[in-house]
Amino acid sequence: MGQEKNRKMRQQREQKRRRMRLLIGGGVAAVLALIAAFVLFFPTVPDDWETLVREGQPALAQVETPPNQGETHVPAGTRVAYESDFPTSGPHWPSPTRPGFYETPQPNEGLVHAIEHGNINVYYDELRPEDEERLREWTRFYNGTWSAVNAVPHQGLGRGVVLTAWDHRLRLDDFDPAPMAAFIEAYRGRGPENPVR
């Protein structure tokens, strides 16, 4: 009888240990999952962002403000004849281009809706590896529905870039992060559909 009691007590202690290990293991897994989610969904601002924005302020004097061409929705698939290869307003599809870095051209009709949301479109052609990495970092960081950065290829720019926001455009002869950051900071999140900044 004494041996049976000891055996049951050992089994109970072992079951307690197993439960404790499962709880601790589950807790550790949950903490690691939270950390991973935080890193993925809440990336940190690029280290040099504020410096770039400050240094790029003078370039904002070069920002073009083309006449507004309206904000009418047209059926998806309808081709719109824009006044520029880099439109800053006008008729557009009901669904915007989703935020991100693109390696293939995207239809202007979706890109115009994206800037109506407050996104910034960055058109590029020939990126140096370090410039591509920086632009990818920006698109990862600024990826909200109402304040994202889209990077879209456009043939014929060479090393130049063009940035567009609703009613605003900046053309640069070379990829220059300072004026680009200043433009993004000035106009991101300020589209007419739902200004968030």
Is the distance from CB of 45 to CB of 73 less than 8 angstroms?
no
* DSSP state letter for 68: P
Please tell me whether residue 193 adopts helix, strand or coil conformation: coil
Report, as ranges of residue numbers, the positions in the chain whose pLDDT lies below 50.
Answer: none
CB 122 within 8 A of CB 149: yes
Contact 73, 91 (CB under 8 A): yes
Range 168-172, long-range pairs (CB < 8 A, 24+ positions): 168/63, 168/64, 168/65, 168/88, 169/63, 169/64, 169/65, 169/66, 169/84, 169/86, 169/88, 170/59, 170/60, 170/62, 170/63, 170/64, 171/62, 171/64, 171/86, 172/59
Dist CA 77 CA 140 (whole Å): 28
The domain locations on the chain are: 1-42, 49-187
Of the candidates 84, 63, 90, the one whose C-alpha atom is nearest the C-alpha of residue 171 is: 63
Q: What is the pLDDT of residue 35?
A: 62
pTM assigned to the model: 0.79
pLDDT value, residue 42? 56
Q: What is the pLDDT of residue 41?
A: 57
pLDDT score, position 158: 98
User: Which phi and psi (to 5°) does residue 10 adopt?
Assistant: -60, -45
* Model pLDDT, residue 14: 84
Write the CATH number of the domain with boundaries 49-187: 3.40.30
Q: Tokens 């456009």 belong to which residue?
A: 154
Kindly tell me the burial class for residue 120, based on how many C-beta atoms sit within 10 Å of its own C-beta (0-12, 13-18, 19 or more): buried
Are 191 and 118 in contact by the 8 Å Cβ rule? The answer is yes
**Tokens of residue 2, six digits:** 């004494």
pLDDT of residue 164: 99
